[in-house]
Amino acid sequence: MRYVLSKIGLLLLTAWAAITVNFLLPRMMPGSPADAAIAKLSRNGTVSPATRAAIEAQLGVPGGSLWHQYVSYLDSIRRFDFGLSYTFFPQPVSELVTKALPYTVILVGTVTVLAFVLGTLIGIGAAWKRGTWMDSLPTLSGSFLSAFPYFWTGLLLLFFLGYQLRWFPTSGAYGARTLPGWNGAFVSDVLAHAVLPALTILITSLGGWILGMRNTMINTLGEDYVTFAEANGLRSRTVAIRYAARNAILPNLTGFGLALGGVVGGSLLVEQVFHYPGVGYLLYNAVVNQDYPLMQALFLMITISVLAANFVVDVLYGFLDPRTRR
């Protein structure tokens, strides 16, 4: 329990640090992002004082005291008020983010867990059969695949499976003629649209998990407890899974938490390739239009999501390792 509490403490502390980084970033930049954003907004009509305040809280008031700004910034975060989007005027940023977040979390979350599990299993097999083709094939192809830029894998799949073979829809989260709702037609359409982005993330991230698991597993295979388990005539499946893999998965889980940021970053590019309406695509639009309030809010949400995922991994680790329970 102490372990979980300390992890919660760490989560809160890290979240606070991330929020603060988010506060400092626009204020450290040359020029005045807040002025630029407000100037752009005013092209759509008059900017209400509330909107102006929200934007200034996020991006900085020229000349204001930093501490004062920090307090109002924290307050606006608490109210989940990030101002209005310039790109999608007059929608509030918070609304846009809330709409986009589920797409990304579900897509990236599911695929990442799937890739991790699959990669870990392949890694276990490769390490167990080390020295054979069952080792060298996944290891070499894994090294090569993990060097692929996410967006390029996406472009290739989009081109060949989407445009050439026309197996899957090429853009968006659901077709233009499908009405959102909890019905079979809509769900299957959403699933069909998710196939290509999911496949992209799966293919590109798989290699890393395979290599990571294989390496840690090879280390644990050299441990005395594995030799002793063999000396005691345990079945090779038991030795591989309960002795070697069970221990190898622990450092690999830590690696999972740390590599997560990279996968999420890559996934954002994938969303852009497929015009998938998640935070990545939204971020792309914010960047192209220099929509600072939207960009800033998205960065914060992405960071917080990764932190939360890391926290879940940490807690899981605690359950798997008896040494943390003491």
Partner 1 sequence: MSLLEVTDLSVVYEPKGAEPTYAVKDVSFALERGEFVGLVGESGSGKSTLGFAVTRLSKPPARISHGRIVVGGRDIAGLADEELRRQRQGGFAMVLQSGMNALNPVRTVRHHFFDIFAAHGHVDRRRREARARELVAKVELPDLVLDRYPGELSGGMRQRVSIALALSLEPQLMVFDEPTTALDVLVQHAVMRTIRDLQREEGFTALLISHDLGVVLESTSRVMVMHDGAIVEDGTSQQILHAPEHPYTQMLLSHYADPRAEVVELPGLAVRGGTISTASTRSDDAGQDGAVAPAARPSAVRAGAHRSAAREPVVVDHVSKVYPAPRRGQARVVAVDDVSFRLEPGQSMALVGQSGSGKSTIAKLVTGVERPTSGTVHVGDVRVDTLRRRGLRDLRRQVQMVFQDPYSALNPLHSVEYTLTRPVVNFSDLRGRDARRRVLDLLDLVGLSPVEQFAAKLPHQLSGGQRQRVVIARALACDPQVLIADEPVSMLDVSLRAGVLALLEDLRVQLGMSMLYITHDLLSARVVTDRIMVLHDGRVVEAGETAQVLRFPADPYTVALLDAVPQPGRAGDAA
Partner 2 sequence: MNPTPAPAPASTAAVPDHAPSGPAPLWRTAVRGLATIWAVPKARLGLVILAVFLLTALFAPLLAPYGATDNSFGRNEAASAAHWLGTTAAGEDVLSQVIFGSRISVVVGFVAGALATAVAVLVGLSWGYARGFLADVANFVVNLFLVIPSLPLMIVIATYLQNSGLAMISIVIAITGWAWGARVLRSQTQSLRSRDFVTAAQFSGEGSWRIVFREILPNMTSLITGSYFGAATAAILAESGLSFLGIGDTSVVSWGSMLFWAQNSNALLTGQWLLLLAPGLCIALLATSLTLINFGVDGLSNPRLREGKGR
Residues that bind partner 1 (CB under 8 A): 131, 223-225, 227-236, 238, 242-243, 246-247, 250, 320-323, 326
**Shortest distance in whole angstroms from residue 246 CB to partner 1:** 6
3-state secondary structure the chain: CHHHHHHHHHHHHHHHHHHHHHHHHHHHCCCCHHHHHHHHHHCCCCCCHHHHHHHHHHHCCCCCCHHHHHHHHHHHHHCCCCCECCCCCCCEHHHHHHHHHHHHHHHHHHHHHHHHHHHHHHHHHHHHCCCCHHHHHHHHHHHHHCCCCHHHHHHHHHHHHHHHCCCCCCCCCCCCCCCCCCCHHHHHHHHHHHHHHHHHHHHHHHHHHHHHHHHHHHHHHCCHHHHHHHHCCCCHHHHHHHHHHHHHHHHHHHHHHHHHHHHHHHHHHHHHHHCCCCHHHHHHHHHHCCCHHHHHHHHHHHHHHHHHHHHHHHHHHHHHCHHHHC
Residue 265 interacts with partner 2 (CB under 8 A)? yes
Q: How many residues bind partner 2 (CB under 8 A)?
A: 56
**Shortest distance in whole angstroms from residue 228 CB to partner 2:** 26
**Shortest distance in whole angstroms from residue 226 CB to partner 1:** 8
- Report phi then psi at 172, rounded to 5: 80, 180
**Would you say 243 or 281 has its CB closer to partner 2?**
281
**Shortest distance in whole angstroms from residue 224 CB to partner 1:** 4
Q: Which stretch binds partner 2 (CB under 8 A): 69-77, 213-221, 227-235, 288-296?
A: 288-296
Q: What amino acid is encoded at 283 in this protein? A: L
Nearest partner of 37 among 62, 72, 74, 20, judged by Cα:
62
**Would you say 44 or 132 has its CB closer to partner 1?**
132
Residue 53 contacts which entry, partner 1, partner 2, none (Cβ below 5-8 A, type-dependent): none
Among 93, 240, 273, 294, binds partner 2 (CB under 8 A): 273
- Count of residues in the chain: 326
For partner 2, what does the binding mask look like between residues 206 and 245, x meaning CB under 8 A? Answer: ----------------------------------------
Residue 261 contacts which entry, partner 2, partner 1, none (Cβ below 5-8 A, type-dependent): partner 2
Residue 278 interacts with partner 2 (CB under 8 A)? no
Residue 93 interacts with partner 2 (CB under 8 A)? no
Residues 148-207 that bind partner 2 (CB under 8 A): 148-152, 155-156, 158-160, 162-164, 170
Q: Which stretch binds partner 2 (CB under 8 A): 98-106, 180-188, 243-251, 279-287?
A: 279-287
- Report phi then psi at 84, rounded to 5: -100, 150
Residue 92 bridge partners (DSSP): 84
**Would you say 83 or 229 has its CB closer to partner 2?**
83
- With 0-12 / 13-18 / 19 or more C-beta atoms within 10 angstroms meaning exposed / middle / buried, residue 251 is middle
**Shortest distance in whole angstroms from residue 199 CB to partner 1:** 34
**Would you say 76 or 139 has its CB closer to partner 2?**
139
Residue 310 interacts with partner 2 (CB under 8 A)? yes
User: Kindly report the CA angle at 21 between 49 and 313, in degrees rounded to 5?
Assistant: 120
**Shortest distance in whole angstroms from residue 60 CB to partner 2:** 11
Residues that bind partner 2 (CB under 8 A): 13-14, 17-18, 21, 25-26, 29-31, 33, 143-144, 146-152, 155-156, 158-160, 162-164, 170, 257-258, 260-262, 264-266, 268-269, 272-273, 283-284, 287-288, 290, 292, 295-296, 298-299, 302-303, 306-307, 310
